[in-house]
Amino acid sequence: MVKRTSHKGANCPVARPLDAIGDGWSLLIIRDAFDGLRRFGQFQKSLGVAKNILSARLNNLVEQGILRTVPASDGSPHQEYVLTDKGCGLFPVLVALRQWSEEYLFEPSETRARLVDRERGQPVAWLEIRSADGRALSPEDTMIVMQHGSNNARRL
């Protein structure tokens, strides 16, 4: 086993999630959960991953509060995995990744899975980074600042 570095104490919000979703399988499990997969066997069939790896990833996602287990919807003794609100919050991450990938990793001739608006069947709009007052921002228009926490909030 490779000892993994933990980023859970990082001040950087890009680093901190990596313990939860920083490996490819976890992201694909989350994608499948958005697509409505719920059972261990469904995830395994979709991903073709070894059972012990899938089991560890599912347990980690439950531990991180991204998935939760519920009794099987058909009354069978299986348990099912569904996204929590925190897990559903990852939707923009998957959309952003999907759009980048469609732009740069696919040839026009290739078949691809597309995310469309259920009502109209059209691909979802391109994500744009905007300022609080609505201006489009490129990476150069932004910068990182350290923001100290609120001491008041600590007592809540």
Reference 51, options 84, 25, 70; nearest CA is 25
Residue 127 one-letter amino acid: L
* Site for a copy of itself contains 75 (CB under 8 A): no
* Site for a copy of itself contains 101 (CB under 8 A): yes
Among 3, 12, 68, 78, binds a copy of itself (CB under 8 A): 12
* Site for a copy of itself contains 2 (CB under 8 A): yes
Chain centroid to CA 125: how far? 19
Binding to a copy of itself (CB under 8 A): which residues in 18-47? 18, 20, 22-24, 27-28, 31, 34-35
* Site for a copy of itself contains 5 (CB under 8 A): yes
Chain centroid to CA 143: how far? 24
Alpha-carbon span 100 to 103, nearest angstrom? 5
Q: How far is the CB of 134 from a copy of itself (least distance, A)?
A: 7
Alpha-carbon span 100 to 106, nearest angstrom? 10
Reference 123, options 93, 147, 99, 88; nearest CA is 99
Residue window 78-97: x/- pattern of binding to a copy of itself, with contact defined by CB under 8 A: --------x-xxxxxxxxxx
* Site for a copy of itself contains 124 (CB under 8 A): yes
The gap between the terminal CA atoms of the chain, to the nearest Å, is 40
* Site for a copy of itself contains 3 (CB under 8 A): no
With respect to a copy of itself, which residue has the nearer C-beta, 76 or 86? 86
